[in-house]
Amino acid sequence: MNDITQNIGTLYHPKSALVFYQTKGTNTDTYVEYFDMDSSGTPINAHPLTVREANVLAKALRIAKEEKEPCLKSDGIMGNHILHIDPINGKAVWFTKAMQRELYFTEGLGIPKGKAHVPAMLWIAGRNSLSVFALASNRRPNLTTKLYNAPFFNVYEDSRVCMGTVDVRIKKTASLEEFTTAWENYFFNSYFSHLMQGYNPVKSNCVSLWEQLITTGGAFPTEVLKNSNQTLKNILP
């Protein structure tokens, strides 16, 4: 005999049933009766549909609808900073220009929190994961653009971001703008704490670099960036 259990999909068991009754005539009236199901699938315990049962049904229908709807729909005209989107799997690639951001550091690093200039960045995000690279200029990246290691703590050498205890909550139906803004805020509003697996992402001392940038307010020195040996073409999903 052949084992065909691996070919059997999820088995659903009947739990309840609704019967809709409607009067005839011009002004129709509708009545809904709710049935529980016994172990053999026979309707039992008929009673009028309650408000609680109706709310449970509405919630189930709403969740089912959201699961089928692709996310990352733009609220308007898609911005020039968007490089790639995969709405079915909820992934996006975009870039940001060099800017000044408020940064937070744990006490152990000895770096005061404050505003500092960060380099142009490339972001790659899914619903539950984030990777970041640095860019040498503010120009919109193309497929051959060199990517550099992001010069931050909490980022692995392969560009993955360790979010630590950050509670990432992004709606499955989030718009493209909500999605990218949320990830940028999660990244910069969390506390930078340590180098990942001892890897130093810059050519200089990472602690001294951010101490200087916080203190002086100077532009980010792109000459300290390390080449990741990757291009945009290599990392596109």
Structural domain contains residue 230: yes
User: How many CA atoms lie less than 13 Å away from 166 in the CB half-sphere?
Assistant: 23
Residues 179 and 142 grouped into a single domain: yes
Structural domain contains residue 73: no
Neighbours of 57 (CB within 10 A): 14
Residues 217 and 133 grouped into a single domain: yes
pLDDT in tens, the chain (237 residues): 555 444 445 667 777 888 888 888 777 787 788 888 888 878 888 888 787 877 777 666 655 455 555 567 777 777 899 999 988 788 999 999 999 999 999 999 999 999 999 999 999 999 889 999 999 999 999 999 999 999 999 999 999 999 887 888 888 778 899 999 999 999 999 999 999 999 999 999 999 999 999 999 999 999 999 999 999 999 886
pLDDT of residue 45: 85
Structural domain contains residue 6: no
Residues 176 and 205 grouped into a single domain: yes
Residues 123 and 149 grouped into a single domain: yes
Domain of 40 in residue numbering reads as 12-68
Helix spans in the chain (H): 51-68, 176-189, 206-216, 232-235
User: How many CA atoms lie less than 13 Å away from 58 in the CB half-sphere?
Assistant: 7
pLDDT of residue 104: 96
Structural domain contains residue 157: yes
Where a domain ends, among 41, 68, 95? 68
pLDDT of residue 47: 84
Residues 130 and 169 grouped into a single domain: yes
Number of domains within the chain: 2
**97 in Cβ contact with 138 (< 8 Å):** yes
pLDDT of residue 231: 96
